[in-house]
């Protein structure tokens, strides 16, 4: 099932806030609707956010009905609105830069319909690149999975978080398809429950054995020898290998090192941000206190209690065994090898 799909004049979005109890689609016909869907986490996951924003940018061009002289300023406003939706996910900015570059290539054209078609084609290319990268990433990552393995994953880095197939779950899918006997432990991933609601649902759809655990159970499972490796996704990877991912990832990395368990990050190279030297410079999004005080509208805490709700944390590179990309597996030292993989053709 696709998280997003271009329908010719609108973006079909699977509302992930309703899963797994409801399968609800809606079609965004404007860039503002796409921006709101990203903010509300109806579409989520760094690669999917990037592709959705690209189509949102194209929708901005489609909906413009003013004179050509005002078009460029209008598109700058479209870009800024989409860029403001989720500050941590670097794929968002990567996709918008590609769209902006494509618009720059078309700037001498007077025919707005030609420009619109060029922007749709660029968004299609971004979506296709994501499909291709995830498949390659899955192949590379499969080489690290033992023939008989219990894998722990956190949040959701599957088809729902990408255009298709997935990053961390793409590796798990590739391992399963190759005949390996794998079993997945999925953290529930409070407070938005992406692991409980989305990862378990995806894996069950593919008939991949999965067990749901509470976030605070991971260390106990490692202590019992029930985890062979940890594979997670990423929202931004700094030049030194520090990685921002869903809140709770850092704790798993520390636990994995304490128990001598390999800890892998799976992400396309579009998630690597060489402009950010370390994780200290990665902006961390803070979300509504109600996501902690309530569980999908049901109060679970005093309504006036103070809340701290960062959506992400940063795992230092020293805890990461390897970073799996579509260009291969990157090993330490990341400050050297990430640069190499980014310039590799």
Number of residues that make up the chain? 345
Q: Which of 235, 242, 273, 313 is catalytic?
A: 235
| C-beta contacts of 278-282 below 8 A and 24+ residues apart | 278/238, 278/239, 278/240, 278/242, 279/238, 279/240, 279/242, 279/243, 279/244, 279/314, 279/315, 279/316, 280/242, 280/314, 281/238, 282/88, 282/236, 282/238, 282/242, 282/244, 282/312, 282/314
Beta strands in 218-307 (DSSP E): 229-232, 236-238, 243-246, 263-266, 272-273, 294-295, 298-299
Helix, coil or strand: residue 14:
strand
Burial class (CB in 10 A: 0-12, 13-18, 19+), 315: buried
Q: What would the two tokens of residue 215 be?
A: 């976030």
Q: What is the CA radius of gyration of the chain?
A: 20
Q: What is 263-275 written as a DSSP string? A: EEEE--GGGEETT
CB 169 within 8 A of CB 159: yes
Say whether 235 is catalytic: yes
Beta strands in the chain (DSSP E): 4-6, 11-14, 25-28, 148-153, 181-187, 210-213, 229-232, 236-238, 243-246, 263-266, 272-273, 294-295, 298-299, 312-315, 322-325, 328-330
- Non-local (6+) Cβ contacts of 127 within 8 A are 4, 6, 51, 54, 55, 163
**Catalytic residue annotation:** 235
């Amino acid at each position: 099932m696709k998280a997003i799909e271009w329908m010719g004049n609108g973006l079909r979005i699977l509302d992930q806030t309703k899963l797994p109890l409801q399968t609800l689609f809606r079609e965004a016909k404007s860039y503002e609707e796409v921006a709101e869907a990203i903010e509300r986490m109806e579409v989520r996951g760094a690669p999917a956010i990037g592709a959705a924003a690209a189509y949102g940018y194209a929708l901005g061009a489609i909906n413009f009905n003013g004179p050509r002289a005002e078009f460029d300023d209008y598109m700058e406003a479209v870009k800024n609105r989409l860029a403001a939706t989720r500050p941590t996910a670097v794929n968002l900015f990567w996709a918008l830069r590609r769209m902006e570059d494509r618009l720059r290539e078309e700037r001498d054209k007077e025919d707005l319909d030609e420009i619109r078609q060029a922007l749709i084609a660029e968004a299609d290319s971004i979506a296709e690149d994501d499909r291709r990268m995830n498949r390659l990433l899955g192949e590379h990552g499969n080489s690290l999975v033992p023939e008989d393995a219990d894998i722990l994953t956190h949040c959701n880095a599957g088809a729902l978080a990408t255009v298709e197939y997935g990053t961390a779950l793409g590796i798990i899918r590739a391992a399963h398809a190759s005949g390996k006997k794998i079993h997945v432990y999925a953290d529930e991933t409070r407070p938005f429950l992406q692991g409980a609601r989305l990862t378990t649902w995806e894996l069950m759809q593919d008939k991949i054995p999965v067990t749901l655990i509470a976030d605070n159970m991971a260390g106990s499972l490692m202590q019992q020898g029930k985890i062979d490796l940890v594979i997670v996704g990423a929202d931004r990877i700094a030049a030194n290998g520090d990685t921002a991912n869903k809140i709770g990832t850092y704790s798993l990395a520390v636990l994995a090192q304490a128990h001598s368990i390999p800890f892998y990050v799976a992400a396309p190279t579009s998630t690597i941000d060489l402009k950010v030297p370390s994780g200290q410079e990665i902006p961390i999004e803070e979300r509504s206190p109600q996501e902690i005080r309530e569980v999908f509208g049901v109060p679970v805490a005093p309504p006036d209690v103070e809340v701290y709700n960062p959506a992400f944390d940063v795992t230092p590179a020293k805890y990461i065994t390897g970073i799996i990309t579509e260009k291969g597996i990157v090993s330490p030292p990341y400050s050297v090898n990430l640069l190499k993989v980014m310039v590799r053709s």
